[in-house]
Amino acid sequence: MSGGEACDGKKLVRSSSGLRMVPEHHAARSPFGLDEPPWVPDKDCPRCMQCETKFDFITRKHHCRRCGKCFCDKCCSKKVPLPRMCFVDPVRQCAECAFISQKETEFYDKQLKVLMNGATFSVARGTSEKSEMMVCRLSNNQRYLFLDGDSHYEIEIAQISTVQILTEGFTPGGGNTRATGMLLQYKAPGSEELTQMKFTASEDFNSNKKLSAAWLAAMHKAAKLLYESRDQ
Ligand SMILES: [Zn+2]
Ligand SMILES: [Zn+2]
C-alpha cells in the first residue's frame, strides 16, 4: 500500500500565465488536473481567433489560459478560477473556456467536499456475492478512494478505468432517476487484470440515502474530469 494520505509538499511556481501552487513531485498531482496548454505563437495569429479583429498597437493580444488560443481583450476578458491547472488566482479565459471553468467550480466548491466527507455503501468485490458495509471517501490529495469497513481498500483514482453509475426509476422520457449504486473497475497494484467493485446505497439504518446519492453524483462528475485529464 502506498500510504495515500501522506502529506504531499507543494510549491509555488510562476508561469507566463500566472502563479500556480503545484505538488513538489509530478507523481503527486491530482488525477483531475490539466496541463497548461502551449500558447499559439504570436506570429501565427494576426487576428483575434474569435471576432477576427486585426491586432495592432491598440488592439492587443491576450492568450486564454485554458486553451492557449489568442484573442482580443473583448473576447478574452473574463478572469475565472481554474483549479485544474492549480492557478492561485482567477485567470484570463476566452468565453468558451470561461463557461466550462465556471461549470467546474461547482465540482471544486461542493462536490469535491462531498467526496472527501464520504458516504456509506454496501460494497461487493469482484464477482463475490458477499458484501460489506464500508465508508467510501476521497483522500484529501484527491488521488485515492479509501474504503473502510472490517476490511480496508485503497483504490488509486488514476487506475480507475470505468465508473458506471447505477440508477433506478428510469423512464424513457428521462424522468426521475435516482442514483442507487456504482460499478467501478480499476487496476489493483501489481495486477494487469481489472478488479470490479459494486457499491450499493443501502437501506441500512446508519446510512443516509440522500448523502449516498449526492456522493454518487459527485463521483459521476469526477469520472468525467478524470477521463478529460487523461485524454488531453
Ligand atoms: Zn475578439
Ligand atoms: Zn479558451
Query: CATH no. for residue 38?
Result: 3.30.40.10
CB under 5 Å of ion ligand 1: residues: 48, 50-51, 72, 75
Ligand located closest to 50 CA: 1
Query: Is residue 1 domain-resident?
Result: no
Kindly write down the DSSP assignment for every residue of the chain, as one continuous string: ---TTSPPPEEEEEETTEEEEEESSGGGS-TT--PPPPPPPGGG-SB-TTT-PBP-SSS--EE-TTT--EE-TGGG-EEE--GGGTBSS-EEE-HHHHHHHHHHHHIIIIIHHHHHH-EEEEEEETT-S-EEEEEEEE-TTSSEEEEESSSEEEEEGGGEEEEEEEEES--TT----EEEEEEEEEEPTT--SEEEEEEE----TTS-HHHHHHHHHHHHHHHHHHHHHHH-
What's the predicted TM-score (pTM) here? 0.85
Residue 93 C-alpha to ligand 2 middle, in angstroms? 5
How far does the centroid of ligand 2 lie from the alpha carbon of residue 100, in Å?
Answer: 9
Of the chain, the percentage scoring pLDDT greater than 70 comes to 91
Is the residue at 2 inside a domain? no
Find the ligand nearest to 69 CA: 2
**In a shared domain, residues 26 and 126:** no
CATH for 151:
2.30.29.160
Nearest ligand to the CA of 52 is 1
Mean model confidence pLDDT for the chain: 89
- The total number of structural domains in the chain stands at 2
Q: Domain limits at 70? A: 10-112
In a domain? residue 3: no
In a domain, 4, yes or no: no
Q: What tens digit of pLDDT does each residue of 113-171 get?
A: 999 999 999 999 987 889 999 999 999 999 999 999 999 999 999 999 999 999 887 66
Q: Do residues 161 and 97 both lie within one domain?
A: no
122 & 102 share domain: no
Evaluate if residue 69 carries a pLDDT over 70.
yes
Domain check: are 156 and 226 in the same one?
Answer: yes
